Structure 1
């Protein structure tokens, strides 16, 4: 650990490490290191993700990373985000 994570561990956890459950530690660490609206921001990025003339593979990679950070995204939802985010000419080709 380094930075904010290390500071959190040293100040909050290290003196009472036996009292911490892993899931509680990870939740508190996340809350300490990321802003309270992080999850909402990731949803916004996912909803607004666009290809913008980049390779389709790059768009898919970005969508998968955002979906992983949001959690609970089903495959069909990811496909829908991809369909809505790729350039129009790609949608036209896929629709043929």
Structure 2
């Protein structure tokens, strides 16, 4: 596993379990806690039919009262992921895919299978070769971890670090340069504040560095926010 826990992607993967815990604390039942063959899951059409039967007047009013705080929008399907080594696309699939199966109350042993419908290219190759035969035993966290390892090169972090070293402001606005290096910092994780400041400073145009010196700022002493 090559994803640093303190990187943006690592924190995103870590949030999967915290999101599931918050749902239970709020009183939402985990559909995986029921038997896979008892017909009580949210995808059981028999349950839908029972829920659609009219209830006595008193029960209807109580049901309407309890339902005021519930989300009424339909879960949004994730954008398909094609297996390209693009951290932004992968992170989007992780966050959108997780929200989709949890908000849709998909049973735990079917979540990975449901997400397979939104895999294409190399990502779907991974599913058919490594996951399909045992999809019902694979946790979301494990699925995303293995998908990353399959689709991204083993030297991915090294390549990101090299890209960071080659990144300069050049003719771009300062904020465009700042946005790019912040994104690279988030991908790498484990970079202290002073290293971030030094990279920010070194990549700025010399004319801007000169103005910063005149304002009594220095890369060895000033903070990111001051610069």
Quickly name the TM-score band, shorter chain normalised: 0.7 to 0.9
User: Which position in structure 1 is the counterpart of 2:163?
Assistant: 45
Q: Which deviates the most, 77-86 or 17-26? A: 17-26
Determine if the alignment matches structure 1 residue 36 to structure 2 residue 154.
yes
Total equivalences in the alignment? 96
**Larger Rg, first or second structure (1 or 2):** 2
Q: Structure 2 CA distance, aligned partners of 1:24 and 1:77?
A: 32
Determine if the alignment matches structure 1 residue 69 to structure 2 residue 173.
no
Q: Deviations over 1:52-71 (max 9, x none)?
A: 12111111011011112212
Q: Which has the higher contact order (CA 8 A, sep 6+)?
A: 1
Q: Structure 1 CA distance, aligned partners of 2:182 and 2:157?
A: 15
- Aligned residue runs from structure 1 range 68-87, under 5 A: 68-87=186-205
User: Which position in structure 2 is the counterpart of 1:56?
Assistant: 174
Q: Structure 2 CA distance, aligned partners of 1:43 and 1:18?
A: 37
Q: Deviations over 1:20-65 (max 9, x none)?
A: 2333322221121112221101011112211112111111011011
Cα 1:23–1:72 shift into 2, 3 Å: farther
Query: Larger % of helix: which?
Result: 1
